[in-house]
Amino acid sequence: MAPLMGLIIAAHGKRYDVELPDGAIISCVTRGKKSELACGDRVEIKLTGPNEGVVEDFLPRSSLLYRSNEYRKKLLAANVTQIIIVLAARPSYYPELLDRCLVAAQAENIRPLILLNKADLPETAEARDKLRLYEQLGYAVLPLCGKQDVAPLLPWLQGQTSVLVGQSGMGKSTLVNTLLPEAQAHTREISQALDSGKHTTTAARLYHLDASSHLIDSPGLQEFGLAHLTPDQIEYAFVEFRPFLGKCRFNDCKHLNEPDCALHAAVSRGAISEERLLCYHRVIDRPA
Q: Are 84 and 165 in contact (CB under 8 A)?
A: yes
Query: Please, how many CA atoms are within 13 Å of residue 136, restricted to the half-sphere of its CB?
Result: 11
Q: How far is CA 24 from CA 39, 50, 119, 160, in A?
A: 16, 11, 38, 23
> pLDDT, tens digit, for every residue of 90-147?
888 888 999 999 999 999 999 999 999 999 999 999 999 999 999 999 999 999 998 8
Helix 274-285 vs helix 262-269: crossing angle, to nearest 10: 150
pLDDT of residue 202: 64
- pTM of structure: 0.90
Q: How far is CA 39 from CA 74, 141, 224, 231, in A?
A: 12, 26, 18, 28
Name all domains of the chain by residue range, CATH numbers in brackets: 4-58 (2.40.50.140), 64-217 (3.40.50), 231-285 (1.10.40.50)
- Say whether pLDDT at 194 is over 70: no
Nearest one of 242, 250, 239, 269 to 105, comparing CA atoms? 239
